[in-house]
Structure 1
Amino acid sequence: MTTARIELPPKLIPVFSGEADVRGAYGGRGSAKTRSFAKMSAIRAYMWDQAGRSGQIVCGRQFMNSLADSSLEEVKLAIADEPWLAGQFEIGEKYIRTKSGRVYYTFVGLDRNIDSIKSKARILLAWVDEAEPVSDIAWTKLIPTLREEDSELWVTWNPESDESATHKRFRAASDPRYRVAEINYRDNPKFPLVLERQRKRDLLQRPEKYGHIWDGDFLTITDAVIFQNRVSVEEFAEPPEGTRFFYGADWGFAKDPTVLIRFWIDDDCLFVSHEAFGHGVEIDETPALFDSVPGSRDWPIKADGARPETISYMRRKGFNISAAEKWPGSVEDGIAHMKGFSRIVVHERCAHIAREFRLYSYKVDRVSGDVLPIIVDDHNHGIDAVRYGLDGYIQARGGTGVWARLAG
């Protein structure tokens, strides 16, 4: 038997492993998700053809006025990328099929042709690309057309809203037969230099759109973002010798990460230079995580006091760590203090907390669109760590010192 080596971004290997009813990927630009799914669809077509199966692969998009708007060219390019695969297909201007003709591609627009899909014979695979705007009605009609015992639905999309039907069906749902992964530019081993240059331009020139374009974040209402227009992400050098460093830690709970942030203050600006984010970190693994941040054993660390046993363990392991003070309203007071800096500058290497600063938001009334004075408890683990690190600098409302200066 001949064996072929298929290159995929590592994050997609589990997506295409094992049995599944749905395989999917979501994220930002440059992740290679569309090209990867196009390639894997062709490999499936080849495998079915070799097994003597007959049927079609339906490639859908919500809006498709012509073949130019379809996935046709993506599939052609993906096949051409694999010389051994290219010889197994007949490819024309408007069609793709295996040499035997047993397996062929069909390209449809769901907004106009969803009802016609019901009559299509033997759909082996349906792949919906750019799936964010697909309506719940369209999904309800499409899914029952997959009637073969091993038929699968593949979905790829760039997220825009947590209210979209695609998000609710395939990302928010928990189903053991759904294999869906988030994948972004940093997960693509072949991320091209031309896109890297564009990414950096967007980071500097369009920070309000950067997260959606490159990190697969939802489009946010700018007025709801707590630190809007206050944070920049860029490279910067270490500060002069003698600078006072701050370290703040937040502990992971269930799916939440354990976090350590290193920062300093200079000329009324807060500089975040290093981060450590670890998911599923056991208590005995935490020292190694903290050691990845320079100077973490040399400087005081202020941490979330909700885990006194972890703080005690870390002290025994040689870290100068203690619990940060909390009080009713300490979150709001900490945010007010942080917003009091003229700028918050995050180093490019700190991708996790940079993303949090773009997403940390007030609640928005879904009916009126009003921004409410309620902080959404999400996208805040690194930001909480900074707040803990500022322990002693943040004071409760009605106090003196820094808070009084900001309130005045």
Structure 2
Amino acid sequence: MIVKEVNPHFEEYLFNWNETYQFLVGGYGSSKSYHTALKILLKLLKEKRTALVIREVFDTHRDSTFALFEEIIEELSLNRAVTPLSSPLQLRFANGSRIMFKGMDNPAKLKSVHNISLIWIEECSEVKYEGFKELIGRLRHPKLDLHMICTTNPVGTSNWTYRHFFRDERNKRYILDDQELYKKRTIVSGDTYYHHSTALDNLFLPESYVKQLDGLKRYDPDLYRIARQGRFGVNGVRVLPQFEVLPHEQAEECIANISRPIFRTGMDFGFEESYNAVIRLAVDPEKKHLYIYWEYYKNKMTDDRTAEELRELAEKQEVIKADSAEPKSIQYFRQQGFRMVAARKFQGSRLQYTKKVKRFKKIICSDRCQNAIYELQTLTYAKDKDGALIEDEFTIDPHTLSAIWYALDDYEVADLKESSSERTRPNRERRK
């Protein structure tokens, strides 16, 4: 008989083993890690199992997860039932159960692990998505039910944890609205149990700690959202806060109502991990609105295959401003009948191009341009080692933004005067 006072918000979670996957997200000090360690201990005391506890870096276990288990073992006087061992790092149970601690920084050591029926990934947002999928493959046992528990503080919506467990805009996967989770606190969706917590759910926290978290709101709203509210969101300063999405038909209608629209097309080259990105734009020079209404976005495509898929642009003789760093590709497209020219690149051009795009009062994107939405809607600036913004570097490599840079190569948002040699007629057929 074990008697232990726990936080009420975690009581049901402690003994819920109905779903294969359990995803816990919460703010600092919410006690999600403590209750997960307790949950696993209780399970392995009752059933003979081998469990695996994972962190991205193995060396972080000793002062975090391993120390947490030791604390609970001491607190519940389980020293005779569970023995912590430091070499290799593990917990041995009198009934034959075992907990092993591994890091994803040495994945080769996972290959020797067999008959794992329970995996806990602590701070799972730090683990790479490929590592997460590898761990799913390691979760197997001939007889026992399988369970994987993921615990994390929320990070940006671009992190794989959000895209896997909630929504992935690029691949059009919608599993659960995170706002619904924040409201209901626990939800079961399919074979996944979701649990949200904050510092207020931990009745053992001193009031001074909660006040300290509340103070973050005044000077670090991003950290306040993560640490105090335990919610996903955009981390950092958005590059294009005026970016918005419209249904394609509405965007088309807005473009049709521009008195003197300016149309432009830009292309960024890529192959292996980067992408060939083509963006077609319409500019309202009076309102200073930029419309993104068509995109092409593929990688691992040779120039000949890409040219074939973009044949429509050659037939319409659209001028395509492309990345000047790829002169061979530009020459190839020209030989294939494309009106492709190199966009200018110069010292500081990334910053100047970004500032140009930011001058638009609105950037309106068709909902058909899913890759532009994915890259630009939550695009944030990178930071240097001192936490200062780097105005020409971003947290991802946004190929659609590069294509927009090149498309607007010879324009200034102040007046956006067209050059007479490259005037494009406002033909609705181009936008189909």
- Using structure 2 for the length normalisation, give the TM-score: 0.50
1:240 has 2:256 as partner: yes
Retained in 2: the 8 A contact 1:297–1:319?
no
Q: Distance in 1 between matches of 2:261 and 2:273?
A: 35
Retained in 1: the 8 A contact 2:313–2:338?
no
Q: Distance in 2 between matches of 1:240 and 1:310?
A: 33
RMSD: 4.9
**How many equivalent pairs are there?**
276
Retained in 2: the 8 A contact 1:249–1:301?
yes
Retained in 2: the 8 A contact 1:245–1:299?
no
Q: Distance in 2 between matches of 1:391 and 1:304?
A: 10
Where structure 1 has 5 or more consecutive residues not aligned to the other structure, the ranges are 1-62, 77-107, 157-163, 199-207, 404-408
Q: Distance in 2 between matches of 1:272 and 1:219?
A: 24
1:138 has 2:65 as partner: yes
Retained in 1: the 8 A contact 2:279–2:295?
yes
Write the mapping of 1:180-329 to structure 2, written as runs, cut at 5 A: 183=164, 184=167, 219-222=233-236, 224-228=237-241, 230-235=242-247, 236-238=250-252, 239-240=255-256, 243-266=261-284, 267-291=287-311, 297-329=316-348
Q: What are the superposed Cα offsets for residues 210-269 of structure 1, whole Å, 9 maximum, x if unpaired?
A: xx9xxxx974334x22112x1111122423398432111111143111111111101310
Cα displacement (A) at 1:310: 1.3
Relative to structure 1, is the Cα distance of residues 354 and 185 closer, same or farther in structure 2, using a 3 angstrom cutoff? closer
1:344 has 2:347 as partner: no
Retained in 2: the 8 A contact 1:247–1:299?
yes
Q: Identify the match of residue 110 of structure 1 among 36, 41, 45.
A: 36
Where structure 2 has 5 or more consecutive residues not aligned to the other structure, the ranges are 1-7, 22-33, 67-88, 91-98, 103-109, 139-159, 181-220, 226-230, 418-432
Q: Distance in 2 between matches of 1:75 and 1:172?
A: 19
Q: What are the superposed Cα offsets for residues 349-406 of structure 1, whole Å, 9 maximum, x if unpaired?
A: 1121112223332223566x544545236242100100001111159xxxx9769xxx
1:256 is paired with a residue whose SS is coil
Q: What are the superposed Cα offsets for residues 154-201 of structure 1, whole Å, 9 maximum, x if unpaired?
A: 678xxxxxxx84233343769977769864456899958x96xx9xxx
Question: Percent same amino acid at aligned positions?
Answer: 19
Relative to structure 1, is the Cα distance of residues 188 and 68 closer, same or farther in structure 2, using a 3 angstrom cutoff? farther
Q: Identify the match of residue 387 of structure 1 among 385, 389, 405.
A: 405
Q: Distance in 2 between matches of 1:247 and 1:348?
A: 18
Q: Which has the larger radius of gyration?
A: 2
1:171 has 2:129 as partner: yes
What is the one-letter code of the residue matched to 1:280? K
Relative to structure 1, is the Cα distance of residues 361 and 346 closer, same or farther in structure 2, using a 3 angstrom cutoff? same
Cα displacement (A) at 1:300: 0.5
Relative to structure 1, is the Cα distance of residues 69 and 387 closer, same or farther in structure 2, using a 3 angstrom cutoff? farther
Retained in 2: the 8 A contact 1:263–1:272?
yes
Cα displacement (A) at 1:304: 0.6
